[in-house]
Amino acid sequence: MAAPFGFMRRHSELFPVIIFAVAISVSSTAQVSGKTAPASSSTAENAASLAEAGRCSEALPLLSRSVAHLTDKELQKRVSLDGVRCATLLQRWDSLLDFARVLNQQFSHDPEVLYVLVHAYSDLSNQATQQLARTAPNSLPALELDAEASELQGRWDQAEKDYRKILEENPHYPGIHFRLARLLLSKPNPPPDFQDQAKRELLEEIKIDPANAGAEYVLGEIARQAGDFDEAVQHFNKATQLDPNFGDAYLGLGVSLSAEKKYAEAVVPLETAVKLQPSNPAAHYSLGTAYSRTGRKADAEKQFALQEAAGHATAPGGPSQH
């Protein structure tokens, strides 16, 4: 199975970049469609030429009017990329969001676009961080951001101090007990009872936020590692109910059921895990094992073959690295 607490890092909400990525992906296209009437391709090409000549102040209004209405995809991509560069240069953050939204919606699998978006989201994140520091330096969100930064830098004691301070000011502030649990499970040289401490933090988090699928998942993982598969099944099952797209939770549920030799019951969650995480070798292996133990030999062999292929794809130097 994947690293026990990999979810903690993947779903930690430590990166403000995620906020912008989600905001862009779910934003209504009405924000774009509500702009002025479509500009012609010749106007868009002229705007792009101005931008590429360094005349961003002239180009940006034309790029903004053109980008959402272009049917020529290559030109739309060119205009959007030029728009991102000019908006960043001129610190026009609303315009940057608009261009990034178009790129995310129309070119979400383009490597060049993804590279540009990484930097765009980073710039937006930095701008929001600076704005928070200027406008509300003593607020709980500002303290939370400082704690997250300390955690990223490995300053575990300072991060814990800041998280505890937040809870002193607001005992019902959501997410903080979860972060304390993550800290306990992630930092090197934890205390001997670190899993028990983490479990207590996660249970407190669920009292504040009963819909926290991540907390349920980690409670399940702690129970699974301790060999308490009944409890693990309960928490993993709850996590899948709260988040039907939570692949790791389905995998944990299936693995725990298999550990109890309930292979027939394990098949469905493991099939879901494979569907949600087709590149995860552990999911294919676990499903193949469940198939094998329920007499489905051909299906098992197929999953073991997929496991091997997925393992090669994710290994250093494998296809996914090129």
pLDDT of the residue at 314 = 64
Mean pLDDT by 10 residues, the chain (322 residues): 43 39 39 46 91 93 90 93 93 91 92 92 85 86 88 89 94 95 90 94 97 97 96 98 97 98 98 97 97 97 94 60 40
Number of C-beta neighbours around residue 162 at 10 A: 21
- Strand, helix or coil for residue 173: coil
Per-residue buried b or exposed e for 4-36, using 16+ beta carbons within 10 Å of the residue's own CB: ebebbeebbebebbeebbeebeebeeeebeeee
Count of C-beta atoms within a 10 Å radius of residue 56: 20
pLDDT tens digits, 151-184: 888 899 999 999 999 999 999 999 999 999 999 9
CA distance 198 to 183: 9
**Alpha carbon distance 156, 153 (integer Å):** 8
Structure tokens at 92: 């026009």
Q: Give pLDDT, residue 236.
A: 98
Tokens representing residue 114 in the block: 């993804």
Beta-carbon-side half-sphere exposure of residue 113 (alpha carbons within 13 Å): 19
Q: Which pLDDT does position 269 carry in this prediction?
A: 98
How high is the pLDDT of residue 20?
Answer: 38
- Domain residues of the chain, as ranges? 16-135
Percent of the chain whose predicted confidence (pLDDT) is above 90 = 66
Is the pTM higher than 0.75? The answer reads: no
Token pair, residue 17, equals 């970049």
Q: What local confidence, expressed as pLDDT, does residue 315 receive?
A: 60
